[in-house]
Structure 1
Amino acid sequence: MRFVLYLILIGSFAALPSRQLCAQNPDVQQIKSVLAGQSAAWNKGDLQAFMQPYWHSDSLMFVGKDGVTYGWQPTLDRYKKTYPGKAAMGQLTFNLLEFKPLAADVYLVIGKWHLKRTIGNLQGHFSILLRKIDGEWNIIADHSS
């Protein structure tokens, strides 16, 4: 009887979606905090602060509808050109769908983004790769569409 209960218990944990198992993970909580900080910075119109979690490297990759942008500064410049003011930026919200650990210091995060704007709303999906560098989670690649 104990063996059957053990199998049921193990089976119930195996049936939990990865999101529920990740909910208690300190890395996932830190990543959620990073993304919450990004949306708060965006909603204040502060692109510089929004970009802080991005890897400050020429190897940063941003993939958008116009192709690939490499590097932190070119990615910031792209955001400034695409969203030149508060009306274009609107209010950003994220819906975080999946957290997939790829290594001890690397996560893939899949989600949806939504901009509520007076000039027309925008929305899409994103996948970001984050790597823990010097104890901080950094976005090393971003594909937003």
Structure 2
Amino acid sequence: MRTSYRALVPMLLLTSACATTRPTAARQDILQVLSTQTAAWNRGDVAGFMQGYWQSDSLVFIGKSGLTYGWQPTLDNYRRSYPSAEAMGQLTFSNLRVQPLSPAAAHVLGRWHLARPAAGDLSGHFLLVLRKLNGRWVIVADHSS
């Protein structure tokens, strides 16, 4: 009986170490998605910004105008709402809380702010649902207000 406990302790320690490193890696990967999106937005590249989203008809965006389903309609809405780099302004995210839910799912709560000197600043909060699909974290649902 004593021998089996000795074998069990290293396995438990290894399992515990793996469990704690995965969320950290997931958080870093998810924060990188948001950082890449911010950089694309701030250079006026809406299509680049959209690379952080799931390219699927099942993507859902919830905003002040209601529900939008699909990657292309979401891109079209962004382009309509922000027709130029000046209208887009400079994006910052803050108060980010990344919460891994499983090895392949997470959500992020945070605040967004657009600094737009000519058109007036905009800001609000968001909840993103992300999934790891084909080895890459993507936003599958976005509720921004």
Instruction: Show the counterpart of 2:143.
Output: 143
Separation of aligned partners in 2, 1:83 and 1:61: 19
**Once the 2 structures are TM-superposed, how far is the Cα of residue 96 of structure 1 from its aligned partner?**
4.0
Give me the TM-score of the superposition, normalised by structure 1. Answer: 0.82
Instruction: Show the counterpart of 2:98.
Output: 99
**Once the 2 structures are TM-superposed, how far is the Cα of residue 97 of structure 1 from its aligned partner?**
2.5
- Write out aligned runs for 1:120-139 (5 A): 120-139=120-139
Give the partner amino acid of 1:26. Answer: A
Aligned residues: 124
Contact 1:96–1:109 (CA<8 Å) still a contact in 2?
Answer: no
Separation of aligned partners in 1, 2:95 and 2:26: 14
Give the partner amino acid of 1:131. Answer: R
The structure having more radius of gyration, on CA atoms, is 2
Separation of aligned partners in 2, 1:46 and 1:97: 23
Contact 2:26–2:100 (CA<8 Å) still a contact in 1?
Answer: no
**Once the 2 structures are TM-superposed, how far is the Cα of residue 57 of structure 1 from its aligned partner?**
0.4
Separation of aligned partners in 1, 2:98 and 2:42: 24
| Greater helix share, structure number | 2
- Write out aligned runs for 1:16-95 (5 A): 25-95=24-94
Separation of aligned partners in 1, 2:101 and 2:66: 25
Runs of at least 4 residues of structure 1 off by over 6 A? none
**Once the 2 structures are TM-superposed, how far is the Cα of residue 101 of structure 1 from its aligned partner?**
1.8
Deviations 1:6-52 (A, max 9, x none): xxxxxxxxxxxxxxx89x70110011111000000000000010001
Percent identical residues: 55
Give the partner amino acid of 2:32. Answer: S
Unaligned runs of 5+ in 1: 1-20
Are positions 1:113 and 2:112 aligned together? yes
Deviations 1:74-121 (A, max 9, x none): 000000001111121000000143112222200010000000001100
Task: Note closer, same or farther for the CA distance 1:96–1:30 as it changes in structure 2 (3 Å cut).
Answer: farther
Give the partner amino acid of 2:141. Answer: A
CA-atom RMSD in angstroms: 1.5
Give me the TM-score of the superposition, normalised by structure 2. Answer: 0.82
